[in-house]
Amino acid sequence: MNLWGKRNDMVVHEREPFNAEPPPAALTGGPAVALTSLDAFFSRNHGPIPDLDPAAWRLEVDGTVTRPLSLSLEELRTRFEETEVVATLQCAGNRRTGLTGVRPVPGETPWGPGAISTARFRGVRLADVLARAGPAPGTAHLAFTGADVAPGARPPQPYGGSVPLEKALGPEVLLAWAMNDAPLPRVHGAPLRAVVPGWIGARSVKWLRRVTARTTPSDAYFQTTAYRLLPADAGPGRTGPGDGIPLGPSPLNCAVLSPVDGSRPPAGPAQVTGYALGGEHRTVARVEVSADGGRTWRPADVDEPAGPWVWQHWRTVLDLPRGEVEIVARAWDSAGTTTPESPAALWNPRGYANTSWPRVRLCCGP
């Protein structure tokens, strides 16, 4: 076991704050295996991991509510209905390395295709807790505040973010204390985290301390300034609060898991596998794979979705010629949207939302 209970072969981008993604082989699924084991689940942190005493911990629910609440873990568990959701969490920076090949993205974690994982979360519905507190008229957003202080934020402050009330009321949005039937691991937010399926991972706030009903989005740095899609030509002077598009729902995305980029498999028939994730309220309807850089395409077998908030694995067999081979994949969702070919058209200063065709370069031997 490595740091924080993770496998030894995790790709650790940073130790402090801890940022690590599993190797692609740890994310390969079979038809029945949509979940990622806890020792392989990616970990994205902006500051030191808090060590909270669950017995002393309380959740405050405040802001524009008629009855502010202060709940112990025991009160949360016993006063509200317990429920589960299987959800794929994807960091907005997943597959960033596909963008850094276009132009560097200084200061951001160089995620490969592994800043994404899936778990079964258990907890209570945020909507039920909010109903107990009674949102006042005019409430339009719910802000989450964590217990960790992020040194990279301006000014340094606890991690936070928000979702619009409409999303917060969805029955899929949980305050969760368990993950894959085990207690929520400390590195994933113990004792309690928000889980916002279908949205960028950044909104699923860990080490949750406070839920605040507001008329406006959170004024935390991670809502006002980070996790925003800036124009490609935004200079350092144009990256202040309120600039760019705040990221919320995850877009359609697709990645190749095997063969691994840069490997040297034998020429001939080879199994190609990967995952695709539909955007919010959409499933993956089609995946095609090419062994000639995108001139000709083969359909892949795509798993049925294990739920509305879950990635889908896919696989096909391609005949690999000898020499340099470039495998490329593209996906469509249930609304007919398809992934864009070019990372150049997607490049943005913080390197978010790379949905372009994944490319895997191989040198195939005799």
Q: Kindly state whether residue 287 participates in binding ligand MTE, applying the rule CB under 6 A.
A: no
For residue 289, which amino acid is it? V
For residue 315, which amino acid is it? R
Q: Per the structure block, which two tokens stand in for 297?
A: 């395409």
Partner touching 43 among Mo ion, ligand MTE, none, CB below 5 to 8 Å by kind: ligand MTE
Q: How far is CA 28 from CA 53, 57, 188, 361, in A?
A: 35, 37, 21, 19
Closest CA to 160 of 212, 111, 199: 212
Q: Kindly state whether residue 205 participates in binding ligand MTE, applying the rule CB under 6 A.
A: yes
Identify which of residues 223 and 316 has a Cβ nearer to ligand MTE in the complex. 223
**58 dihedral zone (left: phi>0; alpha: psi -120 to 50; beta):** beta
Q: Kindly state whether residue 206 participates in binding ligand MTE, applying the rule CB under 6 A.
A: yes
Partner touching 148 among ligand MTE, Mo ion, none, CB below 5 to 8 Å by kind: ligand MTE
Q: Per the structure block, which two tokens stand in for 193?
A: 């985290």
Q: Kindly state whether residue 142 participates in binding Mo ion, applying the rule CB under 5 A.
A: no
Which positions from 82 through 111 interact with ligand MTE, judged by CB under 6 A? 89, 91
What's CA 5's distance to the chain center, in Å? 20
Listed in sequence order, the residues at least 6 apart from 333 whose beta carbon sits closer than 8 Å to its beta carbon are 252, 278, 279, 282, 283, 284, 285
Q: Kindly state whether residue 202 participates in binding ligand MTE, applying the rule CB under 6 A.
A: yes
Q: Which of 4, 42, 309, 352 binds ligand MTE (CB under 6 A)?
A: 42
The rounded distance, in Å, linking the Cα atoms of 295 and 241 is 43
In the complex, the smallest distance separating the C-beta of residue 309 from Mo ion, rounded to whole angstroms, is: 17
Identify which of residues 205 and 331 has a Cβ nearer to ligand MTE in the complex. 205
Partner touching 120 among Mo ion, ligand MTE, none, CB below 5 to 8 Å by kind: none
Closest CA to 206 of 147, 162, 163, 149: 147
Please name the residue that has the structure tokens 């993950």.
179
Q: Which of 45, 64, 139, 218 binds ligand MTE (CB under 6 A)?
A: 45
Q: Kindly state whether residue 223 participates in binding ligand MTE, applying the rule CB under 6 A.
A: no
What is the contact surface with Mo ion in residues (CB under 5 A)?
44, 91, 201-202
What is the contact surface with ligand MTE in residues (CB under 6 A)?
41-46, 89, 91, 146, 148, 159, 188, 201-202, 204-207
